[in-house]
Amino acid sequence: MDEFEELILDLFEEDEEEISEDDEIRLAEIFKTANRLVKLLEELRSYELKESASLMLIREIVGEDKLLLGLATKMLQDITYGSDEKPYVS
C-alpha cells in the first residue's frame, strides 16, 4: 500500500486546484475501502479467485473512461516490466 499512498500524496502536491473538504472526506473513505478490499483479496486462498476479483475491480473502476484505462494499462506495464518512472497523473 505504500505506493498507493505515495501516488495519492503526489496527486495532492501536483494538483493546482483547491481540493474541497467534501472531496478530502470522500478520498479518505475511498482509501479506507481500497485498503480493506486489498486485505480481503490477500486473504483469499485461491489464486484464481484473487486474479478474477482483482480484474473485476479494475474493470469496475476503469469502466468506460479512456483516461483511466490508459493509466491502468501504463501502471500494469510498469509493474510487469519494472519501470522506475511512475507518471500516472494526467
The SS3 call for residue 64 is coil
Neighbours of 58 (CB within 10 A): 14
Helices (H), the chain: 2-14, 21-43, 47-62, 66-81
> What CA–CA distance (Å, rounded) separates 34 from 5?
11
Q: pLDDT by residue for the chain (90 residues), tens digit each?
A: 566 667 666 666 655 567 788 888 998 999 999 999 999 999 999 999 999 998 899 899 999 999 999 888 888 888 888 876 666 665
Residue with cell 493509466: 71
Domain locations along the chain: 1-43, 46-90
